[in-house]
Amino acid sequence: MDHIWAPWRMDFILGDKPSGCILCMRPLENDDRANLILFRSQLNFIILNKYPYNPGHIMVAPYRHIPDLADMTPEEMVEHFELVRKITIVLRQAFSPAAFNIGLNIGKVAGAGIGDHIHSHIVPRWSGDTNFMPVVADTRVLPESLLSTYDKLKDLVGRACCP
């Protein structure tokens, strides 16, 4: 039997879970790299997903703690989806994905890990990126560390979002 090590999973499984909303707390801290925040706009920010489905799994979130699209102002919504559009351009430049899954899980029952702070997920996809590992071993194989992905995307995101 072959073994594939995913030691970062144990940090998540056994680690202390933060109280409060991480999408509210992370932007208040002064270390964007440690918090994986790629870009701060006026009403929304772009952050790498700490537990990605694929390399380059990004989230766009408003700063305001709101649970639903109906709670977004028109200005928040326009900026939010403009950032989603721009991040797909950046991800195409950086990783050449074949496609994207882009979506919102609104509410805990819909699968949202953060059920009371709306955010969009942008997941790059490649042909054959789904395999047996998640099914039989509850493990996803990611070929690049989060900080390597962050460093690869940081300048590209800044140039795309602040021309």
Q: Is 119 among the catalytic positions?
A: yes
Bridge partners, residue 123, by sequence? 101
- Single-letter amino acid code for the residue at 31: D
What is the rounded CA–CA span in Å between residue 36 and residue 49? 8
Residue 152, both tokens? 């690869």
What is the rounded CA–CA span in Å between residue 114 and residue 107? 8
Contact 84, 120 (CB under 8 A): yes
Contact 81, 43 (CB under 8 A): no
Name the active-site residue from 57, 80, 119, 121: 119
Q: Report the catalytic residues.
A: 119
